[in-house]
Amino acid sequence: MEKRQKFSIWYVLLGIWVVLILQNYLTTMFAIKTIPYSEFLKLLKENKVIEVAISANQIQGKIKDDAAGKEQLFKTVRVDPDTSNLLEQYSVNFKGEIESQFLPTLLSWIVPVVLFFGLWFFLMKRMAGQQPGFMSLGKNKAKIYVQEDIDVNFEDVAGVDEAKQELMEVVEFLSEPGKFTEIGGQIPKGILLVGPPGTGKTMLAKAVAGESGVPFFSMSGSEFVEMFVGLGAARVRDLFEQAKQKAPCIIFIDELDALGKARGFGTVGGHDEREQTLNQLLVEMDGFDPNVGVILLAATNRPEILDPALLRPGRFDRNILVDRPDKKGREEILKVHLKNIKVSKDVDLSVLAGMTPGMVGADLANLVNEAALLAVRRKKKKAGMAEFEEAVERVIAGLEKKNRLINPKEKKIVAYHEMGHAIVALSLPGADPVQKISIIPRGIAALGYTLQTPTEDRFLMTKTELLNKIATLLGGRAAEEIVFEDISTGAHNDLARATDIARSMVKEYGMSAKVGQVYFAREKRNQFLNIPMEGAAEYSEATAELIDNEVREIINTQYAKTREILEQRRDVLDKGAQLLLEKEKIEGTELEILMGETASQSTEGRQQKA
Ligand code: ADP
Ligand code: ZN
């Protein structure tokens, strides 16, 4: 909004300037020389005045120019009330005139003003074309946000195979909506792409449109909100209206969080507009049948602040994670972007991918561009490894200004930490299988994560299972201690969760022999402030101490068990961490294979020794 205002002020200034120039030009065109009265008298006496017209305040007329007797128009302010005698004396043709300067006025003022308004109108129209809704107040033209022939394909988006796979279904549906509805397949209305900026969410949405050959309507969440009150809602209505007419098609809303922030207190006034817009979006989403072939895609990097209403079934009920790419992903993205420039043979993509941990697609696109620019500057025909290495440094320097990248030492700690979790989980019977282990920095999870998926939905958990869960949570810290003989703050969340489980075991599930089969309710929490209420404990000080001791006992026992497991499997720990450092993300199955191999090797070794 602010930007736009500045913009139009410049146009006004430009307009005024044009008026002044034009006026100047027009007056000189008519070339009426203004002379002092004394000069007029002098000319009169020299017989150079041909004819004059006298009005109340001024005298206009023709004089002979000095040169070749050319005639020149002149005017002068009338000083002498009695000019007529004088004029008669020199026999000059003269007449009285009522002061009316219709033509000059018209030319010197009206014409520029008309021109100015013309120019203004023209510019406004152009601006309205660029910025939907500025002049047309909510009545957006279709061409503003619809793109019909998208030339982005899934091939152009690399390193996000899982997201692509999930979106394949949408492509199938959009290509042949009839086929799906016949079978009665359930197509999601809204899909939310979640991931950090620059990971290719917009590209993915476009690629879905490109692959299925349908129109692509796009709008950014912030665009909806910066308008006048009521306009955002009108735009949402308009957008859906147009999309339905063009179905099958895709609507893409970028920065959904700008529009869909949770409604709540603390937003006294001022945010009515956003709320109205959000409500309209919810109404529209509920009001359409996905079988008409309109699919809503949205992107956000802050899913946690979205209004829960947006995430309910029938709205954006499907989430697709578009996280930072791992090493292999980065290699593939580089490959895509290298198609556009000339590269010499010495460029090793896997080395480059290894040098760029934490970078997203947009950073890598930038990197390739930098390398190409450097090659041009060095008057090379092709970009070589030297250019790429320097480009990496430049891009990293740029990123470091924005947010710090993880350093190699930290990366190693994180690798061992995550491997610790995973190995413990795989060594304990009945623990949930490990699906993925990742140390991609600055991903959706803070540092790294080990993803465990339960094999089945559980309603009951046994004591052993709970203890194993605690052990798994402690695995990270234990691995750090064993390998580095030092511990880091990275386990803070693990410890909180492990302690929580242990405390529940003691206080709620009656799983501690010393405390007994008793239920001690957790402290009551103040409903509004979410802080413990004073004097709410329902047990004596002595019991409280006993509970604390038991919790500590459980944790300590499990920690000792965890250390033992990891010390026994130190070789797997090292090899796994190494693999993880190399690939940044490994599948649980890969680790299982590694564990199997090293297990049989070590038994073989023992057998040989024996
Ligand atoms: P987002 O919407 O997630 O912020 P964009 O889709 O706008 O990211 O990506 C910005 C640019 O970065 C793209 O135009 C593209 O050049 C590059 N890019 C991002 N992710 C990828 C990817 N996975 N594969 C190829 N290029 C990518
Ligand atoms: Zn951990």
Q: Which amino acid makes up residue 504?
A: S
Ligand 1 centroid distance, CA of 133 (Å): 28
CB 117 within 8 A of CB 93: no
Q: What is the dihedral of CA 574, 577, 581, 583, to 10 degrees?
A: 110
On whether the pTM is more than 0.85, the answer is no
Give the domains, in start order, of the chain with CATH numbers.
9-96 (3.30.720.210), 143-321 (3.40.50.300), 327-397 (1.10.8.60), 408-604 (1.20.58.760)
The answer on pLDDT for 144 being more than 80 is no
List 192's β-bridge partners, or say none.
Answer: 298, 319
C-alpha 199 to ligand 1 mean position (Å): 5
- Express each pLDDT in 61-94 by its tens digit: 888 776 666 777 888 888 777 777 777 777 777 7
Cα 200 from Cα 365, distance rounded (Å): 11
- Residue 506 has a CB neighbour count (10 Å cut-off) of 24
Q: Is the pLDDT of residue 9 over 60?
A: yes
Residue 402 binned pLDDT confidence (cut-offs 50, 70, 90): low
Distance, in Å, from the CA atom of 86 to the CA atom of 247, rounded to the nearest integer, reads: 88
The conformation of residue 515, written as its DSSP 8-state character, comes to: T
CB atoms within 10 A of CB 292: 14
Alpha carbon of 335 to ligand 1 centroid (Å): 14
User: Alpha carbon of 344 to those of 169, 332, 375, 392, 506: distances in Å?
Assistant: 39, 18, 11, 17, 65
- Could you read off the pLDDT of 148-188 as tens digits, one per residue? 788 888 999 998 888 899 898 888 888 887 777 677 666 77
For the chain, percent of residues with pLDDT exceeding 90: 22
Report yes or no: 427 and 434 within 8 Å, Cβ to Cβ: no
What is the C-alpha separation between 468 and 561, in angstroms, rounded?
A: 10
What letter would DSSP give residue 491?
G
Within 6 A (CB) of ligand 1 lie 157-160, 197-203, 299, 333, 336, 361-362, 365
The pLDDT tens digits for 31-64 are: 777 888 888 888 888 888 888 888 777 888 888 7
> If you count them, how many residues does the chain have?
610
Catalytic positions are: 418
**For a pocket test of ligand 1, which of 154, 202, 203 has the largest count of ligand atoms closer than 8 A to its C-beta?**
203
Q: What is the number of the ligand closest to the CA of 256?
A: 1
End-to-end Cα, the chain, rounded Å: 81
Two tokens, residue 452: 């465990």
Compute the mean pLDDT over every residue in the chain, rounded to the nearest whole number.
80
Q: Are 140 and 133 in contact (CB under 8 A)?
A: yes
| Coarse DSSP helix, strand, coil percentages of the chain, rounded to the nearest 5 percent | 55, 10, 30
